[in-house]
Structure 1
Amino acid sequence: MTTTGPVVCFGELLLRLTAPAGSMLLQDSYVNAHFAGAEANVAIALARLGHPARHVTRLPANPLGDAAIQHLRRYGVDTTGCRFADGRLGLYFLTPGASLRAAHIVYDRAGSAFAGIDADSFSWPPLLAGASRLHLSGITAALGAGPAAAASAAVAAARNAGIPVAFDGNYRASLWTGREHLAPALLRPLAAAADILFGDARDIALLLETAVADHDRAVAAAFAAFPNLAVVAGTRRTVLGSDRHRLSARLDSRAGHAETAAVEFPVVERIGGGDAFAAGVLHALAERPADLAHAAETGLALSILKHGLSGDASLTTAAELAAFRRGDRDVRR
């Protein structure tokens, strides 16, 4: 469970404001605050599992930015890649689901310190020095031309340095409003640079601008379109209610695939489950690079554990993950 160098995660760090359980947003006189962000979630999860992880972002030069840095450091994430600038901290507002009512997210990220970045905002060679991997997602490209250019610069620098790239499609329709037609062209080069792609048939159909919905055909098309791609990893979810889901995981390589059984479990919070899955897969592949079954089971286990925790990030340690996989469910005293 050691890596040769830090996994470098690149993306926006946000403040999440959440309505109390069972309430609509602003129905009550208070909200719960958590720091959030897909890529930061992966960095925190990996650090908790014992891997060196570095987060690269830009934050406002004010107390909120300072608190965001402390949030990362609290969980062992290297913050030497974090920069400060004028602007604001991006926000998102969450109304949790309840009973059969779905959760709802409202983003407020325009004009944030991170949204103002461009291709020259970061000097990538020193940030990537000694890194074992770069991890990023399609969310950054959705935030505007500048962040999309910054994502491309990060990927180009990683490829030039021979550093493998993991890319999570993470398509968020509301972030692409008015720019939907640009998404395939902006996201496709990021996916093409990756050796690991987190996504499903819908993500692949978007990247390739096809109507392929069948998983096997979509994965075959992805491998044909992206010669660098070695693994496609994703989950399949059935929502039985806001507090009960069924989830399975599958990893595909060019040589075959591994798929878990579906597991039904109660849900405390769904947000961040996909990021925990990605971290679990990266963790497992660092342990056993060719063992797809191990990676699928580990990613699924970490995601399930995250569903039992409030907040955005998985805080599960390697020992806790191992205990869960052994079937330990009783109180540990």
Structure 2
Amino acid sequence: MEMGRIVCFGELLLRLGAPGRELLLQSPQLQVHVGGAEANVGVSLSRFGHDVAMVSTVPGNALGAHALGELRRHGVDTRAVREVADGRMGLYFLTTGAVQRASEVVYDRADSAFARSTAADHDWPALLQGADWLHLSGVSPALGPQVAEATLAAACAARASGVRVSFDGNFRPTLWQRWGGDAQAILHALFDQADIVFADYRDIEVILGQRFTQAGTVERVDAAAAAAFAAFPRLQWLACTQRQALSVDHHVLGALLLGREGVRAQAPVRQLTGIIDRIGGGDAFAAGILHGILSGFDADATVRFGLAAGGLKHSIPGDFNPVSEADVLAQMGEERFDVRR
């Protein structure tokens, strides 16, 4: 197992959720969880046994301190997280759906301490010292032009230092629309720096400006991956899930891992019933794939591990997936639901 160092760059958030299946503020209480796309990946990788560091910016108050404390509790190094006096914490509000009522998210991230940070705030040669991977996502550049520049600077610095880049497309149209950002151009530049991307055919359509009209979802992913490998010569891997939501509580989840040299692995679909919390499921999948690559798993084992990790996250409240490698391997090897003694 290659116990490399992984650096994650992105915003730390507080999630304020209506309790149970209530509508937002149906009763005067909210449940608080710490999250953020990149932090979610970092926590999972740390729980799998890797050396993980977070780079971010939080306000120097009780909210920022709580977020950092939660990361440290899961073994993530937070020494590179800046604390600033005049910032605010990024928030989002979650209403969990039920039956045929979909879940809803309301963002409150404008002018957060992280959104106001710039490329000049980060000494990337120093921050990447000893790192093997840098993990980024498309959520960060969607926050505004300064953070977009900072995210691209991080990716370019990693590439120049020989650090591999992992990038999750995480296309968030509402965030891009808020400031009129050129999502296609900025995401294209980030994909061009990546060794592995977590993206499905819809992300590739946005970035390459072309449509994939094959009959089935898997066929569209295959075609999009071929187009991405042609467009981005540094790209080695593309991974994604395929989700069919039969109801809020019953999803069918599959996964693909495609390599530049023609490697293609597809995990058997998983039936997820009685879902507790799907937020962070994609991040748990990404962490599982990265763990498989770092651990030297073959492509088939890697995609099965990633899907099992993502599936387990649906059973756990909150954004983080605090499960061990042994938990995921047990899920891959058995489908029994009796108590493990």
TM class by shorter-chain length? over 0.9
CA contact (8 A) 1:2 1:50 kept: no
CA contact (8 A) 1:115 1:143 kept: yes
Structure 2 residues not aligned, in runs of 5+:
214-219
Structure 1 residues not aligned, in runs of 5+:
none
Aligned counterparts of 1:103 and 1:82: Cα–Cα separation in 2? 31
TM-score (structure 1 length as normaliser): 0.97
- The match for 1:320 is 327
Tell me the SS of whatever aligns to 1:78: coil
Is the deviation greater in 256-265 or in 200-209? 256-265
Pairs within 5 Å for 1:13-162: 13-85=12-84, 86-162=86-162
TM-score (structure 2 length as normaliser): 0.95
- The match for 2:199 is 199
Pair 1:330 & 2:338 matched: yes
> How large is the Cα RMSD of the aligned pairs?
1.2
- The match for 2:216 is none
- The match for 1:239 is 245
Pairs within 5 Å for 1:215-230: 215-230=221-236
Amino acid at match of 1:314: N
Aligned counterparts of 1:212 and 1:232: Cα–Cα separation in 2? 16
Pair 1:252 & 2:258 matched: yes
- The match for 2:217 is none
Alignment deviations for residues 199-219 of structure 1 (CA, whole Å, 9 cap, x no partner): 100001111111224222211
- Percent sequence identity over aligned pairs: 47
Aligned counterparts of 1:329 and 1:295: Cα–Cα separation in 2? 23
Alignment deviations for residues 25-76 of structure 1 (CA, whole Å, 9 cap, x no partner): 0001111000110000000000011111111100001111111110100000
CA contact (8 A) 1:21 1:98 kept: no
- The match for 1:279 is 287
Pair 1:164 & 2:164 matched: yes
Tell me the SS of whatever aligns to 2:302: helix
CA contact (8 A) 2:6 2:51 kept: yes
CA drift of 1:183 comes to 0.2
CA drift of 1:181 comes to 5.8
Change (3 A) 1:145 1:134: same
Pairs within 5 Å for 1:300-311: 300-311=307-318
Alignment deviations for residues 176-200 of structure 1 (CA, whole Å, 9 cap, x no partner): 1245560011111111100101010
CA contact (8 A) 2:12 2:56 kept: yes
Tell me the SS of whatever aligns to 2:58: strand
Pairs within 5 Å for 1:281-300: 281-288=289-296, 291-300=298-307
